[in-house]
Structure 1
Amino acid sequence: MRYLFEEYAFDTDLRELYRGAHVVSVAPQVFDLLDYLIRNRKRVVSKDDLINTVWNGRVVSDAALATRLNVARSAIGDSGVKQRLIKTLQRKGFRFVGTVQEVQRPADAVLTADSGGQIFRGSAGPGRSDAVPPDGHASGTRDGATRSIPAPRLSIVVLPFANLGGDPEQDYFADGVTDSLTTDLSRISDSFVFARNTAFTFKGKAVNVEKVGRELNVRYVLEGSVQRGGNRLRVNVQLIDVETGNHLWADRFEKPVVDLFDMQDEVVSRLANTLNAELIEVEARRAGLSIHPDAMDLYFQGWACANNGTTAEYMTQAQAFFDRALALDPGNIGALVGSARVNAAIGANLMRDDWIAHLTAAEVALTRALSLAPNHAQAHSVLGLVQSFTNPVQGIAECERALALDHNLADAHAFIGLAKFFLGRGEETEAHIREALRLSPRDTNAYRWFMFVGLAKLFLGADVEAVVWLRRSIEANRNHPVTHCYLAAALSLLGSPDKARAAAQAGLLLNPTFNLRRYRARAASDHPAYLAGRERVYEGMRMAGVPDE
């Protein structure tokens, strides 16, 4: 069948999309999405309809669905703003609203196959020199074997955690960890996580992890176990790359058994946060090997660069990756949020004189992302960070909205602590950072969180404690220039001029353009306690040798 609309022809037999005489390249999943919307154009289709049909019931995040919809729109010359052909109906679903003409394919243009199972297009038939498979590359082999479709990025199945002790109470706990982790991993942007019903068919069975991964066509398999010894509970977990069979990551949690439900929440939140960072790093390494990277390859590389630190070099590299991703796919939610995070980092850490422009650019990108995916928790969280520098109360509300969408979002807790510091409530900051660390103790952003506490202590006059937290930040990641300058201020105020000057020089080496004029130009609020603290830090940095200009 061919469906004709505007200047496009959508051929379901050849699985090709044409614009005029030219083939438009679309990924198989995007083709299936368009196919379903066009075939069901007389009605509104729900998110569940799309997931059940296109993703075979996998758990799919709102961000992943929004990204695929925008790729589909882009392929047919539409956009999330115009919605000329694919319309989003809030709280209802989606509908293809373009005028479509159905055309039956001629009988001699059906797909044919040779004796080896190779599929050919059109009437060329076997043995013809112009015979090619419908998707433009071999979809089978001459011996009749089917070539497997590459597993989607960030595709993962969480196998039921094994209860090694056999105690029924721990069995419930193990199932709960599996179930909750499946749900929480689906919140990772653009992840594809098999639903629990599929995963639990493997419960209690001896399975070959690599075979399971290949059968389900996922890149990663997560397996784990639960074992109780006395009053302590141990949880072991490991992440396996199906393609290579390599164990990419493993961890162990061991805690006293007090409240199994609370412990389940803590284990799941720590695993989800850690796996998010691990999977981004693994996917970025894969993307670095791609000769022709697509938008998602560039997205992963951008986040990997951004996680390295806030030096000008890393920020420039990260922004370049996100810009390239958005040039290929303007509706890529993850790249929009990544670009905003880079701009927010540049503005928040006073890396350049035009810091206001960077905060504004971040807010524009986040507004765009949230127009496409209103429930994207990370976008709300980063927007909360940006707004904290102009309206901390509003920033707190935005972060609380993010946490309502994803209670494991550790960054949002940390940003609330920062905003309260701006409001002159620095004594509350540490508690919020400790909550972030409880959820994600080895988070790639922890160095920023340590700095928030150190800065709050410094503003409160607790200079010894400030030094401890600021040094902890530098130990976690030395590539954060402004932390060195804040440490210099604390050491100056404690009467250690030599150490203060050394800290200031370390910061200026990472960011030679930082100066006191830039620091004084930005005040996040007019609270008297906050403004008094700013003067203390200014004087401390001046004594340490941070230049005026």
Structure 2
Amino acid sequence: MDLTRELLLDGRGDIVPLRPQAWSVLRLLATRAGQLVGKGEILDEVWSDCEVTEDSLVQAIGDVRRALGEAGRTALRTLPRRGYMLAINGEPIDDADLPIAAAPASDPEASIPSAVPHLSIVVLPFANLGDNPEQEYFVDGVTDSLTTDLSRIAGAFVIGRNTAFTFKGKAVDAREIGRELNVRYVLEGSVQRASNRFRLNVQLTDTATGGQVWAERFDKAAADLLDMQDEIVSRLANTLSAELIKAEARRAERSLRPDAMDLYFQGRAILNKGITPAVMAQARGFFMRALALDPDHIEAAVAAAHVDFAIGSSSMADDGPARFRAAENALNRVLLRAPNHPRAHMLLGAVQIRTNRAAKGIAECRQALALDRNLADAHGFIGLGKHALGRGAEVEGHIQEALRLSPRDTRAFLWFTIVGMAKLMLTNADLEALDWLRGSIEANPNFALAHFHLAGALAMMGDLKEARSIAEAGLALDPDFTICRYEVSALFLSDNPAWLARRERLYEGMRMAGLPDG
């Protein structure tokens, strides 16, 4: 008899479907009812053949709580930073006592496959198109490292290396692999050395359709293999993160009944479009709907805090200080539940930097990088912190490191703006500042503050015609912007008198460009 993964709630008669991982978590806790089961033990037991973050466990716990309903609030207990315990009348129960709904194999419903996890992927061993054994180690190392690094993407489910390497050297069909491993995506690649250059080709395939989602080619001069491997993996991981979020958002748009994870991915895809009041409102709407469906959804909570931080940082509203407080409180709550969440640490550091605690914020961003070396945005925020500390000459180096890790990053426009602002604070660097600020608008025209910065800089240098044109374009994105609000926001970044005095020149340029005072 084949058992479906369904929970029969005693007394209600309701049959509640559970995803395979949530069912396995519940089963494990039931066999140890009344006892604490550590997070590590649950991850090792339930996800033994793949690499995932604690987010997958939190999502599974949320599924179990929703399935148990009101009983779940008292029966399933969280012991912060330690693990979980199933307490039923205070007494341990045997696995056999779990109420389940059995479905015979002849039942049509029993043959329906379990849902494929969101953002689930297998990285197949990359092909070595050369005969050099040293290159073989390099190619396998890229596959290994990429498997590990992709598992750090929020909400990702990545098939483990040992399973993936059983396909090494074999001709494969993406759709068959999708069915066999229950994943949505297959990543394949090859490495070829020609003279003193390496060429790496990669492609991401949708296992449901067999269609190509994304493909890329990287050419790089041959250097130290280990250093090159780290850089290639970082670039791939960052690019794939954005592409997978877009792909998951497109899937979610087609869903008639989107779940919390679907809504989260839709919000993230919108958040990547730029920073305008309309974009922020739309993204926040998705994250709040996700949290309404699943109050324990860590990624949606972090993303909602990101929206509050972005609104406060971009002078979009008069309640900037309240936005920063809300973001900080939310991120601290997340870190109590998931103390090793890289993006939560990074955003907490960003809030601290934007609220005149730059040294503390830089340390928080460095902790985020220790947890996820590919978190290019953390380098960007460290650059912002150096700007706030009046160490503008150091800023560009941090932004260049971010660009090395993620040259096509969806948030690169923000990094360009940070360098542009730092250059404006330096002596004899105005032309460089213009180049960086123009680069920000080219990278993403949907960031009003970059227009306002550029308009002020151009006016300072005497080009009033272009300054006014740029200012108008910015006001089309954020018509409620005022210089007064922007000045108040700057006070939260730094209260250094010399730093603030240098910014007065920019405010005067903004006025000359026609931006409203207040």
Could you state the TM-score of these two structures normalised by the residue count of structure 2? 0.93
Moved more, 438-447 or 62-71: 62-71
Alignment CA distance shift 1:151-1:13 (3 Å): closer
Which of the numbers 367, 370, 373 marks the counterpart of 1:404? 370
1:478-507 deviations in Å (ceiling 9; x for gaps): 111111000001101111001111111111
Partner of 1:435: 401
1:48 Cα offset (Å): 4.3
Instruction: Return closer, same or farther for 1:36/1:484 CA change in 2, 3 Å cut-off.
Output: same
Note the residue ranges of structure 2 that are not aligned, 5 or more in a row: none
Q: Show structure 1 runs of 5+ residues with no match.
A: 1-11, 120-132, 141-146
Structure 2 equivalent of residue 223 of structure 1? 188
Map of 1:366 onto structure 2: 331
Residue type of the alignment partner of 2:51:
V
Distance in 1, matches of 2:447 and 2:10, equals 48
Helix, strand or coil: the match of 1:165?
Answer: coil
Find the aligned partners of 1:382 and 1:79 in 2 and give their Cα distance.
35
1:381 aligns with 2:352: no
Which of 370, 380, 390 in structure 2 is aligned with 1:414?
A: 380
Aligned to 1:170: 135
For residue 252 of structure 2, the aligned residue among 287, 294, 302 is: 287
> Does the CA contact (< 8 Å) of 2:383 and 2:396 recur in 1?
yes
Q: Is the 8 A contact 1:70 1:79 kept in 2?
A: no
Does the Cα contact within 8 Å between 2:5 and 2:23 map onto a contact in 1? no
Please list, as runs of the form range in 1=range in 2, the aligned pairs for 1:62-73 lying within 5 A after superposition: 62-73=54-65
Once the two structures are TM-superposed, the CA of residue 525 in structure 1 deviates from its matched residue by 1.5
State whether residues 51 and 58 of structure 1, in contact with CA within 8 Å, keep that contact through their aligned partners in structure 2. no
1:400 and 1:83 mapped to 2: Cα distance? 38
How far off is 1:52 after superposition? 4.1
Q: 1:505 to 1:30 in 2, by over 3 A?
A: same
* 1:6 matched residue in structure 2: none
Aligned pair count reads 508
Distance 2:96 2:53 in 1: 37
Kindly, what percent of the aligned residue pairs are identical?
Answer: 54
* Alignment partners' CA distance in 2, 1:478 and 1:518: 22
The one-letter code of the counterpart of 1:61 is T
- Counterpart contact for 1:218–1:242, Cα < 8 Å: yes
Deviation at 1:19, TM superposition (A): 6.8
Give me the CA root mean square deviation.
Answer: 2.3
Secondary structure at the residue paired with 2:506? helix
Structure 1 distance, partners of 2:75, 2:495, is 46
Q: Which residue number corresponds to residue 392 of structure 2?
A: 426
Q: Name the amino acid aligned to 2:485.
A: R
Rate the CA distance shift 1:350–1:79 in 2: closer, same or farther, 3 A: farther
2:84 is matched by which residue type in structure 1? Answer: F
Paired with 2:382 and 2:398, the residues of 1 have a C-alpha distance of 7
Structure 1 residue 103 displacement after superposition:
8.8
Equivalence for 1:8: none
Which stretch of structure 1 is more off in the superposition, 276-285 or 530-539? 530-539
Superposed, 1:185-196 pairs within 5 Å as: 185-196=150-161
Aligned partner (choices 108, 122, 139) of residue 110 of structure 2: 139
Q: 1:319-344 CA distances to partner (integer Å, 9 max, x unpaired)?
A: 00000000010111110111011111
In 2, the alpha carbon distance for the partners of 1:105 and 1:301 equals 40
Alpha-carbon contact 2:125-2:143 (below 8 Å) kept: yes
The answer to whether 1:395 aligns with 2:336 is: no
The structure-2 alpha-carbon separation of the partners of 1:281 and 1:353, relative to structure 1 and needing over 3 Å to count, comes to same
Q: Which residues of 2 match residues 446-465 of structure 1 at below 5 A?
A: 446-461=412-427, 462-465=429-432
Higher alpha-carbon deviation: 479-488 or 62-71 = 62-71
Kept in 2, the 8 Å contact 1:460–1:533? The answer is no
Q: Secondary structure, in 3 states, of the residue corresponding to 2:85? A: strand
Name the SS of the counterpart of 2:362 in structure 1.
Answer: helix
Post-superposition CA distance 1:355-382 (Å, at most 9, x none): 1111111112211221221100011111
The match for 2:277 among 296, 302, 312 is 312
Distance 1:112 1:181 in 2: 40
The question of whether the paired residues in 2 share the 8 Å contact of 1:421 and 1:530 is answered with: no
Match of residue 156, structure 1, among 121, 131, 135: 121
Return the match for 1:94 from 64, 74, 84: 84
CA distance in 2, matches of 1:305, 1:514: 22
State the 1:84 CA deviation.
6.2
Q: Compute the displacement of 1:139 (Å).
A: 2.2
Distance 2:503 2:360 in 1: 22
Q: Deviations over 1:168-202 (max 9, x none)?
A: 00100001000000000000111110110111111
SS, match of residue 248 in structure 1: strand
Distance 1:282 1:112 in 2: 34
> Within 5 A, what are the aligned runs for 1:64-83?
64-76=56-68
In the TM superposition, what is the alpha-carbon distance from 1:459 to its structure 2 partner?
A: 1.9
- In the alignment, the residues of structure 1 paired with residue 393 and residue 290 of structure 2 have an alpha-carbon distance, to the nearest angstrom, of 41
TM-score normalised by structure 1 residue count? 0.88
Determine which structure has more spread, i.e. the larger CA radius of gyration: 1
Counterpart secondary structure, 2:288: helix
461-470 vs 158-167, which deviates more? 461-470
Mapped partners of 1:243, 1:215: distance in 2: 12
Structure 2 CA distance for partners of 1:494 and 1:103, relative to 1, 3 Å: closer
Letter in 1 for 2:85: R
* Worse-superposed segment, 69-78 or 166-175: 69-78
Q: C-alpha distance in 1, partners of 2:282/2:465?
A: 34
> Counting helix residues as a fraction of each chain, which structure ranks higher?
2
Other-structure match for 2:6: 15
| 1:537 is aligned to 2:510 | no
Task: Point out the more displaced range, 395-404 or 523-532.
Answer: 523-532
Give the direction of change, closer, same or farther, for the CA distance of 1:151–1:104 in structure 2 (3 Å limit): closer
2:243 counterpart SS class: helix
